[in-house]
């Protein structure tokens, strides 16, 4: 009887610990704009792949993204700016509602992070060109909050040869 009581008390401490840990973890999870971007990135239907290929590419030499491999897709609105070979048209300006998702892979099979550009000028997280910058790990934790408005991204994505901030054409001609 007494040992039963001890077991119950131990169990309660254990459960309490798990609850505390999981509620802390929740704080790092995507919320607000980040959560919206994360949900949009996970829904893969209706996208077109860069150069019509879902094969993984090696991250380029100019990449600011630490993962080894990547592949990039465009939602139906963004895909209107792709030419017949699946590359971005020269001089393109993406229309409102465009979503570009770069899937970053840690290795050949493990998706590590989503890097996203979402043209949504009405968002309070949009930059001067109307882009919202998302950087969210595959598990839903936030690598760089959208509220930073691309401050960690824009200088590199403004380099010569970008098209409306896009660098895929330049590094994967
Ligand atoms: C030091 C340069 C650099 C920085 C900083 C950088 N990027 Fe990139 N990014 C690249 C390059 C180069 C590519 C082309 C693909 C590759 O090699 O990774 C790219 C590709 C992308 C793409 C695919 C669309 C395209 O054509 O460019 C997205 C989306 C993206 N980056 C988002 C971000 C976000 C979000 C941040 C900031 C949190 C960021 N990038 C910071 C260099 C950078």
How confident is the model over 124-149, as pLDDT tens digits? 999 999 999 999 999 999 999 999 99
Atom of ligand 1 minimally distant from the CA of 150: 37
C-beta separation of 84 from 109 below 8 A: no
Atom of ligand 1 minimally distant from the CA of 169: 26
Asked whether 167 lines ligand 1 (CB < 6 A), one says yes
CA distance 73 to 107: 19
Asked whether 35 lines ligand 1 (CB < 6 A), one says no
Token pair 């609850």 in the structure block, residue:
19
Exposed/middle/buried for 40, CB within 10 Å: 0-12, 13-18, 19+?
middle
Asked whether 37 lines ligand 1 (CB < 6 A), one says no
Going from the Cα of 10 to the center of ligand 1, the distance in angstroms, rounded, reads 49
Q: What are the 10-residue block averages of pLDDT along the chain, 173 residues in total?
A: 62 57 55 94 95 97 93 98 98 98 97 98 97 97 97 97 98 96
Asked whether 72 lines ligand 1 (CB < 6 A), one says yes
pLDDT at 29: 79
First-to-final CA distance of the chain: 74
Ligand 1, pocket-test mutation among 101, 149, 155, 157, most atoms within 8 A of CB:
157
pLDDT at 30: 79
Both tokens of 161, joined, read 């040869």
Nearest Cα to Cα of residue 147 among 164, 166, 123? 123
Atom of ligand 1 minimally distant from the CA of 60: 17
Both tokens of 16, joined, read 């309490």
Both tokens of 29, joined, read 């999870």
């Amino acid at each position: 009887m007494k040992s039963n009581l001890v077991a119950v008390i131990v169990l309660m401490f254990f459960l309490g610990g798990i609850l505390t840990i999981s509620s802390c973890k929740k704080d790092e999870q995507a919320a607000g704009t980040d959560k919206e971007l994360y949900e949009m990135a996970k829904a893969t239907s209706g996208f077109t792949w860069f150069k019509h290929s879902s094969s993984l590419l090696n991250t380029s030499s100019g990449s600011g993204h630490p993962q080894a491999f990547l592949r990039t897709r465009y939602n139906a609105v963004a895909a209107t700016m792709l030419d017949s070979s699946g590359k971005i048209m020269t001089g393109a300006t993406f229309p409102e509602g465009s979503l570009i998702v770069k899937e970053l892979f840690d290795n050949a099979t493990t998706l590590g992070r989503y890097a996203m550009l979402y043209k949504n000028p009405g968002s309070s997280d949009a930059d001067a060109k109307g882009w919202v910058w998302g950087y969210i790990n595959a598990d839903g934790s936030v690598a760089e909050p959208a509220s930073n408005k691309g401050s960690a991204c824009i200088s590199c994505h403004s380099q010569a040869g970008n098209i409306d901030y896009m660098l895929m054409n330049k590094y994967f001609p």
